[in-house]
Structure 1
Amino acid sequence: MRTPRQAARVAGLDPDGALFLFRYDKEEVGLHWAMPGGGLDAGETPRAGAAGRATPRHPGRSAWD
């Protein structure tokens, strides 16, 4: 069973207006599409969580690579 928690998502648009989505296929909820993001850490604000998830994790690469 899934445990509900607060999350932050980021809307990524390309210059033509296409929305960047991830495809998930999880046993608990099945196939679905969602914007990049994830659960918030304890004490993390939605704004800080969204900013952290939009930041590249690998220097020199974009968040979308």
Structure 2
Amino acid sequence: MGAGSLAKLANQLIVSSNICAVAEALLLAERGGANPVRVSEALLSQPMPRRCPMVLMTWP
């Protein structure tokens, strides 16, 4: 495996980990009684990895 393939694999690991972390955080907030729409709005107003808004836009 070349350096480019390893770099892409590492990047995909980082991206997928961020998506999972955002999904878990949203579930935690919802189960804790927070308004899901307000939590999504608050998170979207903050700088975040590129793919995280995709998770927020599809939840709930």
TM-score computed with the length of structure 1 as normaliser = 0.29
Rg (Cα) greater in structure: 2
Relative contact order: is structure 1 or structure 2 higher (C-alpha 8 Å, sep ≥ 6)? 2
Q: Which has the higher strand share?
A: 1
